[in-house]
């Protein structure tokens, strides 16, 4: 039944020039959600309409439009896309992607708890989405299972930016403002001792992991105040009391995320993503090691791209000891850079090092999905990364400051000069 405060006939009449086939879906804390078909584009969308009873609350209205701004400007496959927002005849609305499925909260309620494989499968893309938000200076501030939607076609989608904010926004946000869902608040949010930052969002991920694997949030009091006090002062109950199959690795990860002091948590969402990736690797037998991200690198579709890195020959100070890394685009944001020694028979690597102990195709430096790695190729002479022998065919993480040994030379990876 449609709530009395917002009649479906009013909605249909208000939006008839833009949308058709409007049907009621759900009610949130401040808004109503409808399914509709965009007439001009002939696509199915969701309409989120602010409850008119809130129109006089300028703080809520401003937050509504802040959500529109954030959802319309960020672009990530696991973030709910907001296409448009406006006000018509006193109804503030936003047009969003239409999702089919259920929230992670509903899934946990239905199943009791999830296994570790599915938990990681759903959380990895959400952590990637968080990393994208944080790189744009946005803190979500309401990370919880009810704001993660498991779409039948797209997987896990992060939603609801109603209380999100830009870290460097000129709009003042009170440091002692306590807002959000108590069970998922970080201690600094619950106490109001500081403005939440990226690490507060990561605390929320820790609560979600805990809830997915045990069926319970770590802190739940009889009153809101009791819950907040537990968040601030109490250590989280042991996960294995609820689920003995939880690995030590993910147990330590969750306890780190739930640290009372933000400095003890993960430094970034990308660091957490790498650790979740390692769980996938150990589970699936994948030989790929943890990679690090290269930030702000946009790849042209050509075959002569210079990575923003150099190999510095150890023991040499001349300018020609800094070897630029050139690679070939493989499409899909991938680059391959073969390092070796060109020979008269026509073998020409991407990076030519004329040293007799370096083979024609000695190593490959790869850039895939924003991450840098290195692997040994076809040389009979071994390759070493920080003194460790590279096993042929396996991609190893490669980052600034690492030492790569090929033949009789040792190279340091350095940032572009």
Q: What is the mean pLDDT of each run of 10 residues along the chain (417 residues)?
A: 63 93 88 94 94 89 91 90 93 95 95 90 94 93 96 92 79 59 94 87 97 95 94 91 79 94 92 84 36 34 67 68 80 79 79 87 82 85 88 82 88 80
The active-site residue out of 97, 142, 160, 277 is: 142
* 142 labelled catalytic: yes
Report the alpha-carbon distance of residue 99 to residue 114 in Å, rounded: 22
| E-strand stretches of 119-178 | 138-139, 148-151, 155-158, 165-166
Place of tokens 């030519």: 352
Listing from the earlier edge strand, what are the strands of the sheet with 82-88?
19-27, 31-38, 43-50, 91-97, 82-88
| Structural tokens at position 195 | 């403005």
**DSSP letters of 296-318?**
T----SSS-EEEEEEEEETT--S
User: How many Cα atoms sit within 13 Å of 332 on the Cβ side?
Assistant: 4
CA distances from 22 to 17, 199, 300 (A): 12, 40, 43
Asked if 240 and 251 count as a contact pair (C-beta separation under 8 A), the reply is yes
Report the alpha-carbon distance of residue 393 to residue 213 in Å, rounded: 35
Closest alpha carbon to 407 in 364, 342, 360, 349:
360
pTM above 0.85, yes or no: no
| Structural tokens at position 362 | 């000695």
Long-range contacts: 106-114, Cβ < 8 Å, 24+? 107/150, 108/145, 108/211, 108/212, 108/215, 112/215, 113/212, 113/213, 113/214, 113/215, 113/242, 113/243, 114/212, 114/213
What angle is formed at CA 41 by the lines to CA 39 and CA 47, rounded to 5 degrees?
Answer: 65
Q: Phi and psi at residue 94, in whole multiples of 5°?
A: -135, 145
> Which residues, 6+ apart, have CB-to-CB distance to 416 below 8 Å?
307, 308, 309, 310
List for the chain the helix, strand, coil content (%; round to 5).
30, 30, 40
Asked if 98 and 46 count as a contact pair (C-beta separation under 8 A), the reply is yes
Residue 110: per-residue pLDDT: 94
Dihedral angle, C-alpha 249, 271, 323, 374, nearest 10 °: 30
Q: Is the dihedral of CA 163, 207, 200, 221 positive or negative?
A: positive
Report the alpha-carbon distance of residue 353 to residue 379 in Å, rounded: 14
Residue 370: per-residue pLDDT: 65
3-state SS class at 323:
strand
> Residue 31: beta bridge partners?
50
Number of neighbouring beta carbons within 10 Å of residue 100 = 12
Helices (H), ranges, 85-197: 104-111, 116-135, 187-191
Report the alpha-carbon distance of residue 389 to residue 383 in Å, rounded: 6
Report the alpha-carbon distance of residue 121 to residue 46 in Å, rounded: 26
| Structural tokens at position 105 | 């909260």
Closest alpha carbon to 147 in 164, 135, 169:
164
């Amino acid at each position: 039944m449609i709530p009395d405060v917002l009649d479906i006939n009013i909605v249909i009449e208000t939006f008839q020039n833009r949308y058709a086939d409007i049907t009621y879906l759900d009610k949130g804390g401040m808004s109503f959600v409808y399914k509709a078909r965009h007439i001009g584009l002939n696509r199915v969308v969701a309409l989120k309409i602010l409850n008119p009873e809130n129109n006089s609350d300028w703080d809520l209205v401003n937050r509504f439009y802040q959500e529109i701004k954030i959802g319309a400007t960020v672009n990530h496959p696991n973030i709910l896309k907001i296409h448009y927002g406006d006000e018509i005849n006193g109804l503030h609305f936003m047009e969003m992607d239409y999702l089919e499925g259920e929230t992670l909260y509903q899934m946990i309620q239905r199943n009791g708890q999830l296994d570790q494989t599915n938990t990681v499968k759903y959380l990895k893309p959400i952590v990637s989405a968080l990393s994208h938000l944080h790189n744009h200076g946005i803190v979500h501030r309401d990370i919880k299972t009810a704001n993660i939607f498991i779409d039948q076609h797209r997987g896990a989608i992060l939603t609801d930016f109603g209380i999100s904010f830009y870290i460097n926004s000129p709009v003042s946000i009170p440091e002692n403002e306590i807002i959000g869902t108590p069970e998922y608040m970080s201690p600094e949010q619950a106490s109001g001792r500081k403005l939440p930052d990226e690490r507060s969002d990561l605390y929320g991920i820790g609560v979600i992991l805990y809830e997915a694997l045990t069926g319970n949030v770590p802190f739940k009091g009889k009153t809101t105040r009791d819950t907040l006090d537990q968040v601030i002062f109490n250590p989280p109950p042991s996960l294995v009391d609820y689920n003995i199959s939880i690995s030590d690795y993910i147990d330590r990860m969750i306890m780190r995320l739930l640290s009372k002091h933000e400095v003890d948590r993960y430094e970034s969402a990308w660091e957490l993503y790498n650790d979740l990736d390692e769980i996938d690797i150990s589970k699936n037998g994948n030989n790929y090691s943890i990679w690090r991200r290269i930030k702000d690198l946009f790849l042209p579709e050509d075959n002569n791209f210079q990575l923003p890195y150099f190999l510095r020959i150890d023991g040499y100070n001349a300018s020609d000891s800094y070897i630029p890394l050139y690679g070939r685009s493989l499409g899909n944001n991938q680059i391959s850079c073969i390092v070796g020694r060109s020979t008269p028979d026509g073998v020409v690597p991407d990076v030519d090092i004329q040293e007799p102990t370096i083979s024609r195709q000695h190593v490959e430096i790869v850039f895939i999905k924003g991450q840098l790695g290195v692997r040994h190729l076809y040389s009979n002479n071994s390759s070493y990364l920080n003194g460790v022998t590279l096993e042929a065919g396996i991609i190893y993480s490669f980052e600034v400051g690492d030492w790569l040994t090929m033949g009789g030379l040792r190279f340091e990876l350095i940032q572009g000069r």
